[in-house]
Amino acid sequence: GRRTLASDPGLREQPKRIAVVGAGIGGTATAYFLRQEFGAGVKIDVFEPENVGGRLATVKMGDLEYETGGSVIHPLNLHMKHFIDNLGISQRENVPSKMAIFDGKELTFEESDWFIVNMLRMLWRYGFNFLRMQMWVEGVLDKFMRIYQYQQFGYSFSTVEQLLHAMGGDGFLTLANQTLEEAMLGEGFSQVFLNNIVAPITRVNYGQSVRVNGFVGAVSLAGADSGLWAVDGGNKMVCSGLLYHSRAELIPARVTSISVKVRPSKAGTTTSFYEVNYVGVSGPAHSLYDIVIVATPLHTGKSDISFPGFSPPIPSHYPGRFHQTVSTLVHGLLNVSYLGTRQKPSDFTVSDVLTTDAEGCFLNSLSSVDPVTIPPGYHRPPASTPSVWKIFSPRPLTEAQLDAVFLSRDPGASETRWLAYPAYRPPHRRTPPFVLHDRLYYLNAVEWAASAMEMSAIAARNAALLAHHRWHALTGKIDQEDLHVRLRGEL
């Protein structure tokens, strides 16, 4: 029956002020979804001391810009697709690419221009491993896609485990708590296939071996699917677009601490707020908020926010560490003989060189990169023409290493030392929660399942829904079991 206004928690007054900490894709998507959930009346502040975009960033080489952080998006990453459609941003024009695998001495695999040739080569060397891998990843993605239906219906989850379980049941939790190697060997894939084909993919995408967790492993393999895309003008355009669309205020300051403050309310009782302390250009300041969403990793080297006075305590840094990936961009002439190939540079048209876990191999990958906007008439130059290459490596490259890879290079190489994504060492005993306190939320817990733009976008929608439902005590939309069965047949 109908409830009265007073007894209906759904009709409680809306929050007045919400803070988001960090303006990467996670924070800006949170601002966007918060506006959607709470409407025009709430003031949303987004704190960011650095550039909007965070790990989505570009650098200028000559006259053109190139991605140095997050670069590719999967065709089934529906939030990222929705963002660009809604913001009136376009996909970058696609330039065909070609992959090879380098074992530190020579190329052990080189993609052909012909699909059928690639298939036959894979079949010849690895039997049905390759086709079965594609089916395995498709199976994981099928379940992963359920999250979009749940979120469409307003369901939210208070932990990463609940979210994974809702998508893929116990199977997804098992996958996230074992290594990709264990998961794939258990499925009957061969060790040779893992070493020669799977490891190069986890290395290019996460700078790590097949000992990453099975869930991020599957995401990594999805990152080798066809149809990947990027944003015209640079992926970080999505972040500035979301921020603008959300009508949030960008506060160029670093948050230093968050604590609870109790204030008398009009009704004669008390109300509690979060006090956000921050340091901007004009020095330290603080503001009170009804809800706060932390959208930056709470890990050593990533951010340093203290949470004084909470019980149970909230740590500034959760256990585990972030993995370093150094992204080096060089405009130069590739030394194809470094790759152990006898091909003439003018015939060498490979764009992405992946590497196996070989001893002494100092690079994770080497790619010919396209600018964030494709100029008219652009085509990828062969290796006989100087062009822009991107190297991912665990450590900064030395001059000698660069001299080995390039015959000549222009001055002004760009180096970004990213603390890029978690160092994945399953089993991860306790993933940080999405709910740190009553109305204080934490997005980047999701990275311990997998770090990718879409994962941050999913966590952003989840946090906005959680914040809304917990504010209005709509418990029926939080941590529900068997959604997959209950929503079957719903469109």
Ligand X SMILES: Cc1cc2nc3c(=O)[nH]c(=O)nc-3n(C[C@H](O)[C@H](O)[C@H](O)COP(=O)(O)OP(=O)(O)OC[C@H]3O[C@@H](n4cnc5c(N)ncnc54)[C@H](O)[C@@H]3O)c2cc1C
Interface ranges with ligand LLCL4O7M (CB under 6 A): 71-74, 77, 141, 144, 204-206, 219, 222-223, 365, 367, 452, 454-455
Rama region for 207: left / alpha / beta (φ>0; ψ in -120 to 50; rest): left
- Give the DSSP H/E element, type plus range, for residue 307: none
Q: Which of 170, 173, 230, 194 is nearest to 390 (CA)?
A: 230
The residues that touch ligand X, with contacts defined as CB under 6 A, are: 21-27, 47-50, 54-56, 69-73, 254-255, 295-296, 303, 305, 325, 327, 418, 420-421, 444, 451-454, 456
Residue closer to ligand LLCL4O7M (CB basis): 71 or 393: 71
Residue 222, binding choice from ligand LLCL4O7M, ligand X, none, Cβ under 5 to 8 Å by partner class: ligand LLCL4O7M
Tokens for 420, please give them. 């890029």
Least Å distance, CB 391 to ligand X, is 11
Q: What are phi and psi of 293, to 5 degrees?
A: -125, 120
Residue 38, binding choice from ligand LLCL4O7M, ligand X, none, Cβ under 5 to 8 Å by partner class: none
CA angle 237, 460, 74 (to 5 degrees): 60
Residue closer to ligand X (CB basis): 348 or 442: 442
Least Å distance, CB 197 to ligand LLCL4O7M, is 15
- Verify cis geometry, omega within 30 degrees of 0, for the bond prior to 427: yes
Residue 372, binding choice from ligand LLCL4O7M, ligand X, none, Cβ under 5 to 8 Å by partner class: none
Least Å distance, CB 240 to ligand LLCL4O7M, is 21
Tokens for 3, please give them. 């409830």
Helix axes 236-246, 78-87, angle to 10 degrees: 60
Question: How far does Cα 470 stand from its chain's mean position?
Answer: 26
Residue 204, binding choice from ligand X, ligand LLCL4O7M, none, Cβ under 5 to 8 Å by partner class: ligand LLCL4O7M
Q: Rg of the chain over CA atoms, in angstroms?
A: 24
Residue 367, binding choice from ligand LLCL4O7M, ligand X, none, Cβ under 5 to 8 Å by partner class: ligand LLCL4O7M
Residue 251, binding choice from ligand LLCL4O7M, ligand X, none, Cβ under 5 to 8 Å by partner class: none
Residue closer to ligand X (CB basis): 71 or 156: 71
Least Å distance, CB 143 to ligand LLCL4O7M, is 10
Residue closer to ligand LLCL4O7M (CB basis): 76 or 260: 76
Residue closer to ligand X (CB basis): 305 or 369: 305
Q: What are phi and psi of 308, to 5 degrees?
A: -70, 145
Residue closer to ligand X (CB basis): 194 or 294: 294
Residue closer to ligand X (CB basis): 72 or 95: 72
Least Å distance, CB 404 to ligand X, is 22
Residue 255, binding choice from ligand LLCL4O7M, ligand X, none, Cβ under 5 to 8 Å by partner class: ligand X
Say how far apart CA 423 and CA 266 lie, in whole Å. 49
Say how far apart CA 207 and CA 324 lie, in whole Å. 8
Residue closer to ligand X (CB basis): 26 or 382: 26
H helix intervals, 95-128: 115-126
Residue partners of 364: CB distance under 8 A and separation at least 6: 203, 204, 207, 325, 355, 391, 392, 393, 394
Q: Which of 321, 353, 338 is nearest to 105 (CA)?
A: 338
Residue nearest to ligand LLCL4O7M (CB): 223
Tokens for 265, please give them. 């309310």
Residue 448, binding choice from ligand LLCL4O7M, ligand X, none, Cβ under 5 to 8 Å by partner class: none
3-state secondary structure 155-186: CECCCHHHHHHHHHHHHHHHHHCCEHHHHHHH
Residue closer to ligand X (CB basis): 24 or 217: 24
Least Å distance, CB 223 to ligand LLCL4O7M, is 3
Residue closer to ligand X (CB basis): 68 or 196: 68
Least Å distance, CB 192 to ligand X, is 27
Least Å distance, CB 455 to ligand LLCL4O7M, is 5
Residue 200, binding choice from ligand X, ligand LLCL4O7M, none, Cβ under 5 to 8 Å by partner class: none
Helix axes 199-206, 214-222, angle to 10 degrees: 90
Least Å distance, CB 348 to ligand LLCL4O7M, is 18
Residue closer to ligand X (CB basis): 55 or 461: 55
Say how far apart CA 319 and CA 299 lie, in whole Å. 8
Say how far apart CA 243 and CA 473 lie, in whole Å. 28
Residue 21, binding choice from ligand LLCL4O7M, ligand X, none, Cβ under 5 to 8 Å by partner class: ligand X
Tokens for 19, please give them. 């803070």
Q: What is the DSSP letter of 374?
A: P
Least Å distance, CB 380 to ligand LLCL4O7M, is 14
Say how far apart CA 443 and CA 29 lie, in whole Å. 11
Residue partners of 144: CB distance under 8 A and separation at least 6: 167, 168
